[in-house]
Amino acid sequence: MQGKSQRLVELDFFRGLVLLIIVVDHIGGSMVSRFTLHAFALNDAAEVFVFLGGFATATAYVSLAERRSESVARRRFVKRAFELYRAFLITAVLMLAASFLLRPFFGHAPNLALHDLDSLMAEPVSSITQILTFERQPYLAAVLPMYALFALAVPLMLPLARTKPWILLGLSLALWAFAPAIGEYLPSAEDNLWDFNPAAWQLMFVLGVLARCQPVYQRVSAHRLGWIVSAGAVALIAGMAYYKLLVLPPVLDSAFKRDLAGPRIVNFLAIAWICANLARYGVVKAIANRLPWIGAVGRDGMVAFVAGTVISLVVDSILFTLTDGLIDVPAGLAADALAIGALLAVPRVHQAVAGWLGSRRPISKPVPARVAADTRGR
């Protein structure tokens, strides 16, 4: 079994890679996105993102509970829920601000949050209230509400994952089974369903938590017949790629992703198993060490995600307008290079800004020992 630092190196690499894929996948004319996960699999980067979120959450919770206490870990993730809520509000504002600024020049771009922007202009109080209550989720801000709900559930989820994993998995599967019906009752403006049904996607988050808390992979892969599972995973990936490329229509019903259809889960698990094998044999760690800037994006995941939403929206709008929505290989490659380069720069920019803000804070002078003692004596 790998050491903690190795796991974190690989985790950061996967998270950074997924964030880069998410950015190009939301650029309609991207050339790189023609070769990313969604092009040959029934799932896409969203499953990887949520699964890794569960894995990282469990890692942080277990570490904090061991170093401090369970109560400290629980309080930390309640606080984390409010941080995610704040990130949602910031992202929503950025989506609306970017749409407002881009509209005069790129108003026909399909991903601008123009409907939400028009509602805000017509009924500002009502629209702001709807954003505050998750009823309105402008474009790429839509993934964050479910993360905030997951963070609130972590104090209940993690103890079960560590002591009674089958109960947690059973409850999660039951909730997933009823997710389409539950999704109808989630708060929404103008009866628009959430892009990500949290009742369904919690299963992917729970699987990430269980992968961290229970050594299922280690036990199965170490068994003398473990190779059969790997062979089956390869066969599943190949079969589903055939089905995706040659059988399914180009555009599937939105519920297939919104409610996390079963085939998406199966396809993801097969890919995750092969990736775990690559990590086990040190392949991922070797690549991560050669490409440290990808891991840097993963370590700064929250800021990178929020920045990535703006990057993809701006680049997609410009590219769509310049090419009239048609495929243009040179322009698409240029857009990919711009978007990927911008996201790779985010950790450095964030670090520089944080350092600059820290240097401007007033430094409190240390209290002399004698004065401190006199104060305690009083």
pLDDT in 10s for each residue of the chain, 378 residues:
344 444 479 999 999 999 999 999 999 999 999 999 999 999 999 999 999 999 999 999 999 999 999 999 999 999 999 999 999 999 999 999 999 999 999 999 999 999 999 999 999 999 999 999 999 999 999 999 999 999 999 999 999 999 999 999 999 999 999 999 999 999 999 878 999 999 999 999 999 999 999 999 999 999 988 999 999 999 999 999 999 999 998 888 999 999 999 999 999 999 999 999 999 999 999 999 999 999 999 999 999 999 999 999 999 999 999 999 999 999 999 999 999 999 999 999 999 998 888 777 666 555 554 444 444 444
What's residue 164's pLDDT?
Answer: 96
What's residue 49's pLDDT?
Answer: 96
What's residue 365's pLDDT?
Answer: 56
Domain around 283 = 4-377
Compute the distance between CA of residue 132 and CA of residue 147 in angstroms, rounded to an integer.
Answer: 15
What's residue 6's pLDDT?
Answer: 41
SS3 of the chain: CCCHHHHHHHHHHHHHHHHHHHHHHCCCCCCHHHHCHHHCCCCCHHHHHHHHHHHHHHHHHHHHHHHCCHHHHHHHHHHHHHHHHHHHHHHHHHHHHHHHHHHHHHCCCCCCCHHHHHHHHHCHHHHHHHHHCCCCCCHHHHHHHHHHHHHHHHHHHHHHHHHCHHHHHHHHHHHHHCHHHHHCCCCCHHHCCCCCCHHHHHHHHHHHHHHHHCCHHHHHHHCCCHHHHHHHHHHHHHHHHHHHHHCCCCCCCCHHHHCCCHHHHHHHHHHHHHHHHHHHCCHHHHHHHHCHHHHHHHHCHHHHHHHHHHHHHHHHHHHHHHHCCCCCHHHHHHHHHHHHHHHHHHHHHHHHHHHHHHHHCCCCCCCCHHHHHHHHHC
Residue tagged 């079963």 (tokens) = 262
Structural domains of the chain, count: 1
**pTM of structure:** 0.91
Residue tagged 């509000």 (tokens) = 89
CB-hemisphere CA count at 13 Å for 225? 0
